[in-house]
Amino acid sequence: MSGQRSWAEMRQTLHQLRRSLSALSSRTPQHFSFRALADGRLRVYYLSARAGSENQLCYVDVPPETAVSDNVKLPWQQLFDPTFQSVRYGSRSSRAEQLQLERKRVVGCGITEYGLHEKSGRFIFTAGNSVYHVTDDSARASAVYPVEIPSTRGQPRLNPTICPANPDLLAYVEEGDIWLFNTRTESDVRLTRTHQEDDALSAGFPSYVMQEEFSRFVGFWWAPTAEDGVYRILYEEVDETHVEVLYLHTMQEGSEPEAIRYPRAGSTNATSALKLLEFRLEGPTQTVTGLTRRHLSTPLASMFPWMEYLVRVGWFDDQFVHCQLLDRSQCRLDLVLVPVALFVADDATPGPPPPPAAPVQVLLSAQTDVWINVHDIFHVIPTSDPGQVCFLWMDDTTGYTHLYRVTTQITRQPGSRSASQHPAVTKVPLTSGQWSLDSKQIWVSEKRGLVFFQGSRDTPVERHLYVTSFLQPSGKCQQLTQPGFYHNAYLDSECTALVTVQSNLSTPPSCQVWRLHSSSNSGEVQLLPAGVVLEPCSFEPPRWLPQLHSCRLRGSGDQLFAMVYPPTGFVPGRRYPTVVNVYGGPQVQVVTNTFKGYRYLRNHILAAEGYCVVCIDSRGSHNRGTKFEGHIKNRMGTVEIADQVDALHQLADRTGMIDLSRVAIQGWSYGGYLSLMGLALRPDVFKLAVPGAPVVSWSLYDTGYTERYMDLPCRNPCGYEAGAVLSYANQFPSEPNRLLIFHGLMDENVHFFHTQQLISALIRAGKPYQLQVYPNERHSLRALESSEHYELTLLTFLNNHL
């Protein structure tokens, strides 16, 4: 360690590290889109903070294939006029926008995401509390200036989305209803009238739990075509009337408590109804006519009474929509096909009944005794038989997430089969083995019969791009990306171009464009370099770059992966005070062979200040299969610490740098929860605990997350009691200066009430603690000054007491 350094000295070191890591990380391109230009060039769009602190929309032009030379550096271009400011001085995101950024885990400022209508080149994006559109004409001579969509009501407009059938039309959600904006006429129309004043009904926007725990952030879906002149929007109507209301209090004078609807474990969830909008555009003024709001004649909740969550929705074709329904325990999922003809007008006048329609049909049903990991993979493969459906699908029935080609029969005739009757299903595995695929996205070349996907075949700590045939399944897949790196891959819609962003623990990110070619002889896909977007930065690697380790648990033999950051000035044979930076919960993988840049600033500053930093993915963490992840089922908090301690001791023996008499454990959210459990259950191992925003009782956390892993409280009372920090208040150390708690008062995820309950329990037990509150912060510390204060307070506590 570097001794008792002053707050100012540590702050200077923090600033230096922040600048260097920010320079390496913020310029890395992200959020790629592709567009083929008429002259044969391929334009690749992306976001980057290259020109400053806020994200900007940039692009590179990839030459036609005949003009490509190996590893040519592609010049960056900024799409917008340099005078355009995506962040206005004094502007602040609305409450609705702040909460959505929290749900999406989006950091940074400026343009954080955008939509592109590929054929027209029309963009839509939000920035600085405003919504903009702009069209990229490839023949233009200069940069373009975005057009702000006017707002006469001053309310935030969420999830603006371009109509795929007409890029002049945009839909968005404002104040709980869906609105339409026509960029040609600059007019807007309120399409739904669901939300009234302070009621708990809304249209087109998912509930808190759906966003936070199922990663569905949109609640309306444009129909892909409007060939009959009718535009259609499928949407979800959410009713939160019976969802518990909680209040977040601030210390600001005169401020009112913030009310949020938050269903705690065992309580009532929001309900969902699937509805449909139809309208036409008439005349040169493109007036909206024939606006019709439709609902299902028999609601999904009546057809599937076991349904609790509407987790995925989309258009199947012009006759059907598809949705995925999940039960309350999250152990059953049905993939359902719903005929558009079953939606009836809300204000239908009495008259002859509508013509009979095809029934609601279940394409696939999955059940498990662990939990179902909801995914985004559902790709329909066209067939010549109108009574047959073929699609690509992922599930983890083998214990690992793999890809399947599914074939089943449907009926397009009325009254042939009810929703409860399942057709015969044929599932052909396209991948297999003891490894998992990434379930966020696949890319399909129907012309060549190929499907591209990402996964971790050779090691769980790397991600690669693979390809296999879905027309002639062989069980084999070809790896396309370079071993020894972790890759993020992005393909164009035709699967002819590829962008990879790659890095490893010692190499900063780089970005490359490739052309994809299929060999007619071998059937293999070839990658031809088409240009470099970003070269790896040359930097002086610090001594505290993390080292990758693995170890096997002494009891079960399961392999765990870990990272160890050596302290600066590390001398072999000397042992150092150590900080275990823990997360340890489901859905997250911390230990990967990626460059640990700005997001891992805390680990770097600890190492720079002379601490050894250890990160361990224990059983229950992501990307290791259902048996490994399911180890925590019904017993969260009672098994993870044993894994962490076992691995810590093995790493101490192997590296020789860990002083086991001076170990602190710290983490945020689930990591804060395990920090508390570590100090309560193993005070002999952990001298200090520094939890941030910790869960202290699963009965206080939300339904979707908690019940997935712990079941309902009424069915697992022992598990809830054993997994509650509050149950161990008497076991916390009686010595002072061993526990420091951080929490934001406005935390809308793990409410400050958790920390209040913990403090009350510690006081009753006569146990010492220290508390640091951030009055204006939510679950993430977003203000730079708050983050800096947190890092320095953490360092001061460790320096003084570890």
pLDDT tens sequence across 608-650:
999 999 999 999 999 999 999 999 999 999 999 999 999 999 9
779 catalytically annotated: yes
Question: Hey, is 730 helix, strand or coil?
Answer: helix
Provide the pLDDT confidence category of residue 729 given band limits of 50, 70 and 90: very high
pLDDT of residue 293: 96
Antiparallel, parallel or unpaired: β 497-504 and 486-491? antiparallel
Q: How do residues 677-721 score in pLDDT, each as one tens digit? A: 999 999 999 999 999 999 999 999 999 999 999 999 999 999 999
CB 696 within 8 A of CB 757: yes
pLDDT in tens, 109-156: 789 899 999 999 999 999 878 999 999 987 776 789 999 998 888 889
Residue 422's pLDDT is: 65
Reduced to 3 states (helix: H, G, I; strand: E, B; else coil), residue 237 is: strand
Please give, one letter per residue, the 3-state secondary structure of 73-119: ECCCEECECCCCCCCCCCCCCCHHHHHHHHHHCCCCCECCCEEEECC
Residue 323 inside a domain? The answer is: no
Name the catalytic one among 395, 503, 747, 754. 747
Could you tell me what percent of the chain has a pLDDT over 90? Answer: 76
Token output for 505: 């623990």
Q: What tokens appear for 742 in the block?
A: 């951080």
Residues comprising the chain, all counted? 802
Question: Which two tokens mark 49?
Answer: 């903070």
pTM of the shown model: 0.94
* 8 A C-beta contact, residue 145 and residue 84: yes
Q: How far apart are the first and last CA of the chain?
A: 10
pLDDT above 60 for 52? no
Number of domains within the chain: 1
Which of 73-87, 330-344, 374-388, 653-667 comes out lowest in average pLDDT? 73-87
Per-residue pLDDT band for 756 (boundaries 50, 70, 90) equals very high
669 is catalytic: yes
Query: Residues 2-29: what's their mean pLDDT?
Result: 79
Cα separation, 137 vs 154, in Å, equals 31
Tell me, yes or no, whether 48 lies in a domain. Answer: no
d(CA 763, CA 242): 34
Q: Largest alpha-carbon pair distance within the chain?
A: 89
Q: Is the pLDDT of residue 453 over 90?
A: yes
Q: Tell me if 788 sits within 8 A of 11, measured CB to CB.
A: yes
DSSP code of residue 437: B
Mean pLDDT, all residues of the chain: 92
Residue (of 802, 702, 798, 776) closest to 103 by Cα position: 702
Domain limits at 747?
Answer: 542-801
> DSSP per residue over 51-81, as a string?
TSSSBEEEEEEEPPGGG--TTPBPPPEESB-
Residue 585 falls inside a structural domain: yes
Does the residue 645 lie in any domain? yes
> What are the helix and strand counts (H, E) for the chain?
12, 44
Catalytic residue among 272, 375, 779, 787: 779
Taking residues 537-545, report their average pLDDT: 68
What gap in Å lies between CA 58 and CA 379, rounded to an integer? 30
For residue 392, count other CB atoms closer than 10 A to its CB.
19
Per-residue pLDDT tens for 267-319?
Answer: 999 999 999 999 999 989 999 999 999 999 999 999 999 999 999 999 999 99
**565 domain residue, yes or no:** yes
pLDDT at residue number 231: 98
The DSSP code sequence of 116-157 is: EETTTTEEEEEETTEEEEEE--TT-SS-B-PEEPP-SS---E
In a domain, 175, yes or no: no
Average pLDDT over residues 549-556: 95
Question: Band of the pLDDT at 521, cuts 50, 70, 90?
Answer: low
pLDDT at 386: 86
Please state the rounded mean pLDDT for residues 101-113. 84
* Mean pLDDT, residues 461-467 taken together: 98
Q: Could you tell me the CATH number of the domain that includes residue 597?
A: 3.40.50.1820
**What letter would DSSP give residue 341?**
G
Task: Check residue 419 and give its pLDDT.
Answer: 56
Catalytic residue, chosen from 469, 669, 697, 780, is 669
Alpha-carbon 61 to chain mean position: 29
Mean pLDDT of 32-36: 96
Q: What is the pLDDT of residue 411?
A: 86
Q: Kindly indicate the confidence band of residue 358, based on its pLDDT and cuts at 50, 70 and 90.
A: confident
* Assigned domain for 670 exists: yes
Asked if residue 584 has pLDDT above 80, the reply is yes
| DSSP β-bridge partners for residue 115 | 124
Q: Is 747 a catalytic residue?
A: yes
Instruction: State the sign of the Cα–Cα–Cα–Cα dihedral 126, 130, 131, 137.
Output: negative
Asked whether the beta carbons of 407 and 429 are under 8 A apart, the reply is no
Residue 93 has pLDDT above 90, yes or no: no
| Residue 249 banded pLDDT, cuts 50, 70, 90 | confident
CA distance linking residue 376 with residue 311, whole number of Å: 10
Q: Given this model, what pLDDT does residue 617 score?
A: 98
Instruction: Provide DSSP, 366-411.
Output: EE-SS-------EEEEP-S-TTEEEEEEEE-TTSS-EEEEEEEE--
Whether residue 450 lies inside any domain: the answer is no
Question: Does the pLDDT value for residue 587 go beyond 70?
Answer: yes
Q: State the pLDDT confidence band at 87, using cuts at 50, 70 and 90.
A: low
Q: What angle do CA 297, 302, 304 make, to 5 degrees?
A: 120
